[in-house]
Amino acid sequence: MIVFILAVLLFLVGLYGILVKRNIIKLAIGLIIMEYAVNLFFVLAGYREGGTAPILDGDLAPGTVFVDPLPQALVLTAIVIGLGTTALLVSFAVKIYEKYDTFDIRKIRKLHG
């Protein structure tokens, strides 16, 4: 229960950052925080009381409880997608900096600079 609240709080921190900050890099950081909060939430939702990692390596006692493997698989893919989109976001930021010499979104007004 308390861990879910903390994950949601982390998500809200990222949301606050996106709404308040004006620097593109900080906006990207806010987005990443939100993304990782969602990943954390999924992994926590797949936890089972006293569960171990779902890897059967021979010397497990019979009747061992495993955590849910499905959220782990989904989060694994989500992390890699997050990496790709973050790289894309950063390259947009690089292009914007080349064109406007600033990361401040308030100063990026003209479309044809």
Partner 1 sequence: MIKRLFVLLAVAGMAVILIPFVSGNGAGDALNNVAATYVEDAPRDLGTMNIVTAVIVTYRGLDTLGEVLVLFIATAGVGFLLKKRREGDPVQPPSEILSTGGMILMPLIVLFGIYVFSHGHLTPGGGFQGGVIIATAFLLAMLSARRLPIYSGLLTWIESVSGFAYLAVGVLGLVLAGGFLDSRLLPAGRYGSLLSSGTIPLIYTFIGLKVGTELVSILDKLRSNQ
Cα gap 69→76, rounded to integer Å = 11
The encoded tokens of residue 40 equal 């954390």
42 scored as a contact of partner 1 (CB under 8 A): no
Residue of 73, 102, 104, 113 interacting with partner 1 (CB under 8 A): 73
Q: Between the CA of residue 37 and those of 10, 67, 87, what are the distances in Å?
A: 6, 19, 19
Cα gap 39→31, rounded to integer Å = 12
Write down the least CB distance from residue 109 to partner 1, Å.
18
* Site residues for partner 1 per CB under 8 A: 1, 4-5, 8, 11-12, 15-16, 19-20, 41, 44-50, 53-58, 65-66, 68-70, 72-74, 76-77, 79-81, 83-85, 87-88, 90-92, 94-95
